[in-house]
Amino acid sequence: MELKEKLVSSFLAFENKGGLDLDSNVHALRLKAIKNFENEGFPTKKDEEWKYTNLKPLLKHDFSLFPTTKNTVGFKNIREYLINEIESYTLIFIDGVFSSFLSDTTHEECDVCVLSSALTRPKYKMVVDNYFNTIAKENNSLAELNTAFTKEGAFINIPKNTIVPKPIQILNFSTGSEKEVLLQPRNLVVVGENSHVQIIERHQNLSTNTTLTNTVTEIFVHKRAIIDYYKIQNDTENSSLIDSTFVSQKQQSVASVNTYSFGGKMTRNNLEFQHEGEHITSNLNGISILNNKQHVDNHTLVNHKFPNCESHELYKGIYADKSAGVFNGKVIVQQAAQKTNAFQQNNNILIDDGASIDAKPQLEIFADDVKCSHGCTIGQLDESALFYMQSRGIPKKEAKALLLFAFGNDVVEKIKIPQLKTRITKLIAKNLGVDLGFEL
Amino acid sequence: MLEVKNLHASINDKEILRGINLEIKAGEVHAIMGPNGSGKSTLSAVIAGKEEYEVTEGSVILNGEDLANFAPEERAHKGIFLSFQYPVEIPGVTVTNFIKTAINETRKGQGLEELPAKDMLKLIREKSDLLEIDRKFLSRSLNEGFSGGEKKRNEIFQMAMLEPKLAILDETDSGLDIDALKIVANGVNKLKSKDNAVLVITHYQRLLDYIVPDFVHVLYNGKIVKSGGKELALELEEKGYDWLK
């Protein structure tokens, strides 16, 4: 049976097991979503948005949709994937199931807990009704699929005037309890007026079995609120990730999403920012460092609808072996959005002949009093710079790494959590195969 | 220390060096002068091991060892230093971090332990004082946005840190005003000893007022056409190169 049919026919069983009130709003949303998914199916290369990323080979796997969990995962198994050097709230999911034992949640100043309880408890009904599935795009069949099977994920609700004292780490682990597994975490983040939160998200396969994660995150940023969101994508070679993140911003808010893609078989990031007020700042930063046959596709959209807003986008890519990158950065400046400042930069280095990048900056500008720029470069390592460094005693391999490090440095510089910066720096050094002995 | 024997080198099948012979002993300062396109920079790049050049005949020997099969970094580890005419900008790597990496990789290549951080700091302080380099300068990205003078001073600073046996200064005077030139020359003179040697490659005699050579060679069309003492530089300044062709 094809994956699509399997999903559609499993939906009823899923609904019956779900324990949701069948009169609830969420139930209606799920029903609608599965119908939409059934109509649209998985995207193919014929879709303009999927021209450079082929899902077909991935969909041939016989994924287990409702994995059984092995509860043998202890702290020692996951320790290395946490940023341990800092205090944080943690939400840990094992094969899609929340582990209260490993997690550190709170309901004190804010809610850092799980979506399953938010969906079922009357206390959260209003928040869920107001926000859940309101910005996840309707014509995105993968987001629809996630909505249809929404069950678990992070629920982060920050009331107004709250500085969340420590970062929140969301970690999704798969244990390999099934040979091939499909996971669909769903996150909902609401940041109230004048509040501030930092979130680190990671998906990690603990086995060599095949994992496909289709995750959706909706983020609402209210007036003058600030959110820093970090995505660490460094999974195993049998793991693929489709990440759709939708951000809705109110006036004077600042939202930054930083995506660090170092590992995994196939990664697709859909990142969308919708502006719902004036004086908004959106920051999108990303770095991909790939080798072997890895594939990372970054699709971004910033929709400027109001005047006096800005967006800053910086994506860098380093591609070795036969790896492939895609960058599709769309910026829309609507007619009302006068005095917009929108900047986009995409720089790529191809290290080997077999590596490739498809870069597509897309600017649609309907306002006339705006500052918009975009730049896209594709290059190779500078041979004269390599010789210069070698002549100072630095071996070629280290010289290359140093140059690549320097190339990606301005993206790493954006990290506001020092311990995370150190971790990312180390991951980059490891990926480039060097120990540089210092931090840049 | 350095022997260049009948050196022929070409790039993309075009012969640039056509049989160069040169011997430099420890404690000596040699200058190579010559018009544009005579092969001065090629000679320095070939000695430093730049891979784009193919050595078709002859050899470069350092302290009795033929350098033919050594990569540029290995030549550096053996004590060759090339100061670039156009130092490369490396955004995102500070002067300090770059020199730390260079020193420790060189020490690794020489079979030595890494220099302890404390000693490294001390050395950096000592050498930057010697060259009148502002500390703030050291935390800037390597050569990025540097003036011509700053770039060259930074080259000499790296030379001072690495303490090479043979320093090749390729057109170090170009882009320098007279004050910067004095500082750079002064630095080179302070680093000079009976155990090391300097090869100055220059277009003009100007630099040689400050770094006084023991020998001057004129390079023309890939060959050394005349050698002499320091007075040869003055003669060239006066008469130009035409009389040698």
Shortest Cα–Cα distance, B125 to chain A (Å): 19
Q: State the pLDDT confidence band at A439, using cuts at 50, 70 and 90.
A: very low
How many domains does chain B divide into?
1
Q: What is the 3-state secondary structure (H, E, C) of chain B?
A: CEEEEEEEEEECCEEEEEEEEEEECCCCEEEEECCCCCCHHHHHHHHHCCCCCEEEEEEEEECCEECCCCCHHHHHHCCEEEECCCCCCEEEEEHHHHHHHHHHHHHHHCCCCCCCHHHHHHHHHHHHHHCCCCHHHHCCEECCCCCHHHHHHHHHHHHHHHCCCEEEEECCCCCCCHHHHHHHHHHHHHHCCCCCEEEEEECCCHHHHCCCCCEEEEEECCEEEEEECCHHHHHHHHHCCHHHC
Write the Ramachandran bin of A60: left for phi over 0, alpha for psi from -120 to 50, otherwise beta: alpha
Interval A108-136 mean pLDDT = 93
If one compares B141 and A21, the residue with the highest pLDDT of the two is B141
The residue length of chain A stands at: 440
Are A403 and B90 within 8 A, CB to CB? yes
**Same domain (yes/no): A257, A144:** yes
Q: Note the pLDDT tens digit of each residue in A326-351.
A: 999 999 999 999 999 999 999 999 99
Q: Do B101 and A385 touch (CB under 8 A)?
A: no
Interchain CB distance below 8 Å, A390 and B76: yes
- Euclidean distance between CA atoms A214 and A267, whole angstroms: 10
Going by C-alpha positions, the residue among B86, B15, B20 that lies closest to residue B53 is B15
Segment among A83-97, A239-253, A370-384, B171-185 with least mean pLDDT: B171-185
Which amino acid is it at A386? Answer: L
Q: Which residues of A touch B101 (CB under 8 A)?
A: 394, 398, 402, 436-438
% chain A with pLDDT above 90: 79
- The domain tally of chain A equals 2
CB A172 within 8 Å of CB A102:
no
- Does residue A437 lie within any of the structural domains? no
In terms of domains, do A210 and A341 share one?
no
Instruction: For residues A328 and A245, state if they share a domain.
Output: no
Entry field: residues in chain B: 245
Are A405 and B93 an interchain contact pair (Cβ–Cβ within 8 Å)? Answer: yes
Is there a domain that residue A29 lies in?
Answer: yes
Instruction: Flag if B73 and A393 touch (Cβ within 8 Å).
Output: yes
Q: Which of B52, B92, B106 sits opposite A393 (nearest CB)?
A: B106
Q: What is the pLDDT of residue B75?
A: 96
Cα dist from A12 to A39, A120, B69, B133, whole Å: 17, 18, 71, 74
Q: Chain A partners of B80 at a C-beta cutoff of 8 Å? A: 391
- Find, in chain A, the residue whose alpha carbon is nearest to that of B79: A393
Residue A49 DSSP code: G
Name the residue type at position B156. Answer: I
Interface with B, mutate which of A391, A400, A414, A432 (most B CBs under 10 A): A391
Q: What is the pLDDT of residue A20?
A: 63
Say yes or no: A223 and A250 in one domain: yes
In this prediction, residue B180 carries a pLDDT of 82
Tens digit of pLDDT for each residue in B110-128?
999 999 999 999 999 999 9
Instruction: Report chain A residues whose CB lies below 8 A from the CB of B106.
Output: 392-393
Asked if the structure places residue A429 within a domain, the reply is: no
A57 touches chain B (CB under 8 A): no
Report the amino acid identity of residue A79. R
Position A431 scores a pLDDT of 82
Strands (E), A161-265: 168-174, 180-183, 186-191, 196-205, 210-221, 226-234, 239-250, 254-263
Q: Is A31 exposed, middle or buried (0-12, 13-18, 19+ CB in 10 A)?
A: middle
Q: Please give the residue range of the domain that contains residue B18.
A: 2-244
pLDDT in tens, B60-80: 999 999 999 999 999 999 999
Minimal CA separation from A383 to chain B, in Å? 10
- Residue A328, Cβ neighbours under 10 Å: how many? 21
DSSP-derived letter for residue A104 is B
**Final residue of a structural domain among A378, A393, A417:** A378
Can you name the residues that pair with A240 across neighbouring β-strands? A212, A266
With contact defined as beta carbons under 8 Å apart, do B196 and B62 qualify? Answer: no
- The contacts of residue B179 (CB under 8 Å, 6+ apart) are none
User: Does A396 reach chain B within 8 Å, measured CB to CB?
Assistant: yes
Contact check, Cβ <8 Å, A440/B92:
yes
Do residues A171 and A78 make contact, with C-beta atoms less than 8 angstroms apart?
yes
Instruction: Identify the domain boundary among A267, A286, A312.
Output: A267
% of chain A surpassing 70 pLDDT? 97
**Within-domain flag for A272:** no
- A325, pLDDT greater than 70: yes
User: From the candidates B75, B93, B138, which should be mutated to test the interface with A, based on the most A CB atoms within 10 A?
Assistant: B93
In whole angstroms, give the CA distance from residue B14 to residue B73: 26
CB nearest B73 (choices: A385, A394, A440)? A394
Per-residue confidence (pLDDT) for residue B206, from 0 to 100: 85
User: Å from B126 to nearest chain A CA?
Assistant: 19
Residue of A377, A386, A388, A435 to mutate for B, most B C-beta atoms under 10 A: A388
Q: Which of B52, B91, B162 sits opposite A392 (nearest CB)?
A: B162
Residue A389, in any domain of the structure: no
Note whether A271 and A219 are within 8 A (CB).
Answer: no
Average pLDDT, stretch B165-170? 94
Mean pLDDT computed over A375-384: 91
Nearest residue in B to A387, CA atom: B50
Mutation target to probe the B interface, by most B beta carbons within 10 A, among A389, A409, A436 is A389
| Predicted confidence (pLDDT) per residue in B14-54, tens digit | 999 999 999 999 999 999 998 888 999 999 999 999 999 99
In-domain check, residue A303: yes
Specify whether the CB–CB gap between B225 and B219 falls below 8 A. Answer: yes
* Residues of B in Cβ contact (< 8 Å) with A387: 48, 50-51, 72
A381 touches chain B (CB under 8 A): no
Q: Cβ–Cβ of A382/B100 closer than 8 Å?
A: no
Q: Which residues contact A23 (CB under 8 A, 6 or more apart)?
A: none
CA distance B187 to A142: 66
Asked if B73 and A437 come within 8 Å (Cβ–Cβ), the reply is no
User: Is residue A258 in a domain?
Assistant: yes
Say how far apart CA B131 and CA A201 lie, in whole Å: 49
The H or E element spanning position A157 is: strand A154-158
pLDDT tens digits for range B190-200:
889 999 999 99
Residue A182 token pair = 């499909």
Please give the Cα distance from A124 to B183 (Å, whole number).
Answer: 72
Same domain, A250 and A345: no
Angle at which helix B95-109 crosses helix B117-130, to 10 degrees, equals 120
Q: How far is B69 from chain A (nearest CA, A)?
A: 15
pLDDT, residue A436, reads 58
Q: Looking at this protein, which amino acid is placed at residue A171?
A: L
User: Could you list the residue range(s) of the whole structural domain that residue A25 is in?
Assistant: 3-267
Q: Which of A206, A237, A263 minimizes the C-alpha distance to A79?
A: A206
Segment A163-176 mean pLDDT: 95
Strand ranges (E), A305-397: 310-319, 324-333, 341-350, 356-365, 371-379
Which chain A residue has the Cα nearest residue B106? A393
ipTM of the modeled complex: 0.94
Which residue, among A228, A244, A137, A237, has the nearest Cα to A185 in the 3D structure?
Answer: A244
Let me know whether A362 and A250 are in one domain: no
Average pLDDT over chain A, rounded to an integer = 93
Co-location of A181 and A323 in the same domain: no
Each residue of A74-87: pLDDT tens digit? 889 899 999 988 99
| Partners of residue A406 in chain B, C-beta under 8 Å | 90-93
Per the listing, tokens 């180390």 go with: A426
A12 and A55 assigned to the same domain: yes
Nearest chain B residue to A396, by CA: B73
* Other Cβ atoms closer than 10 A to B150: 20
Q: Which residue has the tokens 């002067």?
A: B95
Is the pLDDT at A437 greater than 60? The verdict is no
d(CA B240, CA A74): 81
Helix A418-431 × helix A396-412 angle, to 10°: 150
Confidence (pLDDT) at B242: 80
Q: Which of A361, A378, A395 is a domain's end point?
A: A378
Mutation target vs A (from B73, B97, B138; most A CBs, 10 A cutoff): B73
Minimal Cα–Cα distance from A398 to chain B, Å? 9
Measured over the CA atoms of residue A12, residue A14, residue A18 and residue A20, the dihedral's sign is negative
Confidence of residue A401 (pLDDT cuts 50, 70, 90): confident
Same domain, A369 and A262: no
- B105, B151, B161: best mutation site toward chain A, by most A Cβ within 10 Å? B105
Q: Which two tokens stand for residue A163?
A: 């500085």
Render pLDDT for A214-268 as a digit per residue (tens, 0 to 9). 999 999 999 999 999 999 999 999 999 999 999 999 999 999 999 999 989 999 9
A388 pLDDT more than 80: yes
Residues of B with CB under 8 A from a CB of A: 48-52, 71-73, 75-77, 80-82, 84, 87-88, 90-94, 97-98, 100-106, 109, 114, 158, 162
A383 within a domain of the structure (yes/no): no
CATH for B194: 3.40.50.300
The number of beta carbons lying within 10 Å of the beta carbon of residue B172 is 27
